[in-house]
Chain A
Amino acid sequence: AQSVTQLGSHVSVSEGALVLLRCNYSSSVPPYLFWYVQYPNQGLQLLLKYTSAATLVKGINGFEAEFKKSETSFHLTKPSAHMSDAAEYFCAVSHGGSQGNLIFGKGTKLSVKP
């Protein structure tokens, strides 16, 4: 069975600091991996996705993530946090060859301090 674990339900960084949100997955087949962002009272917006091409994936708003098979990880990073990055971030896994169903992590709420 597939699963996703996001380490840290809350992460707080200062503006301009590195953002690192952790995601580990388990999957018996090569996974598709996703990061979604949710701003308050809004739906989910895709940040980036890994679908077995390049292991370093660049997304919107300066975010990127690296797929590390040996560590079963797909951590999300951004070199310099901005106040507008404050939101909740969800990691998700899918084996896209089937119905495309997503398994979500519990989410990490990112706070950015001025």
Chain B
Amino acid sequence: NAGVTQTPKFRILKIGQSMTLQCAQDMNHNYMYWYRQDPGMGLKLIYYSVGAGITDKGEVPNGYNVSRSTTEDFPLRLELAAPSQTSVYFCASIGTRRDTQYFGPGTRLTVL
């Protein structure tokens, strides 16, 4: 199993541009999550999904959108990039026991 994969690894955006961060998992996990990590702040939950077609907001959802059309994929969309969205983004998934989250390697995004 590849586990949780994320693309791209790095990206620089200009203010107002849009992009999609990709996340995929091959463990047949129903639950998937997007976090952002800022220095000294730990990880904050942006959105999560409990299964295909079902998504819900986390702690910091503003400026982001998600979709979940398949069990495997959980893309995160930034529509109008702002400097405040400069961060490292992590995707994670969890199995049916819901006791251990598996994390992807992260996407480092800079908005200038």
Q: Which residues on A are within 8 Å of B, measured CB to CB? A: 9, 32, 34, 36, 42-46, 49, 51, 90, 94, 96-102, 104-107
Contacts and interface: CB of A to CB of B under 8 A. Distances in A.
A101 to B, nearest CB: 6
Majority SS at the chain B contact face: strand
Contacts of B99: 32, 49, 51, 94, 96, 100
Nearest to A105: B42
Interface string B43-85: 1110010100000101000000000000000000000000000
Nearest to B106: A43
A9 B40 CA distance: 8
B7 to A, nearest CB: 13
A43 B108 CA distance: 11
5 contacts: A32-B99, A99-B31, A100-B94, A104-B35, A104-B43
Interface residues of B, number: 27
B18 interface: no
A36 B42 CA distance: 11
A113 B47 CA distance: 39
Contact of A46 (B50, B100, B104): B100
Nearest to B93: A100
Contact of B41 (A32, A96, A106): A106
Q: Which of B97, B101, B102, B103 has the most CB of A within 10 A?
A: B101
A99 B50 contact: yes
Contacts of B42: 90, 104-107
A90 B106 CA distance: 16
